[in-house]
Amino acid sequence: MDYGLAQVHAELYEALGDAVRVMEANGLRSSVMCGTLLGAVRHQAIIPWDDDADIVMPRASYDRFAALYPAQCGEGFTLDLTDTWVPRVRKAGGDAFVDIFILDPLPQGRLRCAWKLFRLKTLQGMLKQHTDYGRFSLGKRLLLRGTRALGLLMSRRAKLTAYDRIARTGGPGPRLHMSNGAFNLLTMTFAADTFDAPQPATLGPLTVRIPRDASGVLTLLYGSDYMTPPPESARRPLHLDR
């Protein structure tokens, strides 16, 4: 089936390839993640109906990438934080982007963990700029509108600074989480060595890195039947149609 995403996929491969090139050249640990990881394992390419790409990096690797990429990126590419709290590699004038998720430790102890997650979720609500409230229950809509109103009291820079400071807290600990992931990604936890020594894999024209136990990560993300594609009615882009 033609999903009308040929140009988007071309842009994704280009942006992802540029990011991976800089990461590999500087020995920065990374792995494709979420739908891009699923694409690498199930399709050996971007999922035909997917419209973004995802990378996950340990905090130390991301900090070095953020410092190095502006000077080493290909012409026209940028590391963008204008749309969301998630860093995105994208090319000027294009619609496609590569989300970079950052691995930070979760505090030990239920209350400390809950407090960190609560603050990050609140700041996400304060930072949201384009929210389709119809996708949420009444209770969540009220929370989102409330946190958005609260966010109007702070500058975007102040909110991003607070988010970065809180995201880094919690370690060292035995469990990591994607501290800038939204919804269930924020609360999903991984053993500290899950993303150590990632392995090469094919993704269309690119060679990317995937976790050693890609099956375990994908099972956590999508369930044990992750190799079975969803019904055709559910095969639709999630970002470009909003």
Give alpha helix (H) positions in the chain: 6-25, 34-42, 59-72, 110-127, 138-151, 156-167, 184-187, 214-222
Q: Give the C-alpha separation, 96 to 12, whole Å.
A: 6
pLDDT above 70 coverage of the chain, percent: 88
- pLDDT given for residue 94 in this prediction: 84
Nearest to 208 by CA among 19, 6, 10, 5: 19
Nearest alpha carbon to residue 84 among 28, 163, 196, 144 = 163
In this predicted structure, what is the pLDDT of residue 241?
Answer: 43
Sign of dihedral through CA atoms 137, 146, 116, 58? Answer: positive
- Six-digit token string for 155: 């500058």
Q: How far apart are CA 38 and CA 176, in angstroms?
A: 20
What is the pLDDT, as a whole number, of residue 242? 38
- pLDDT < 50 positions in the chain: 240-242
Q: Is the pTM of this model over 0.85?
A: yes
Q: What percent of the chain has pLDDT over 90?
A: 72
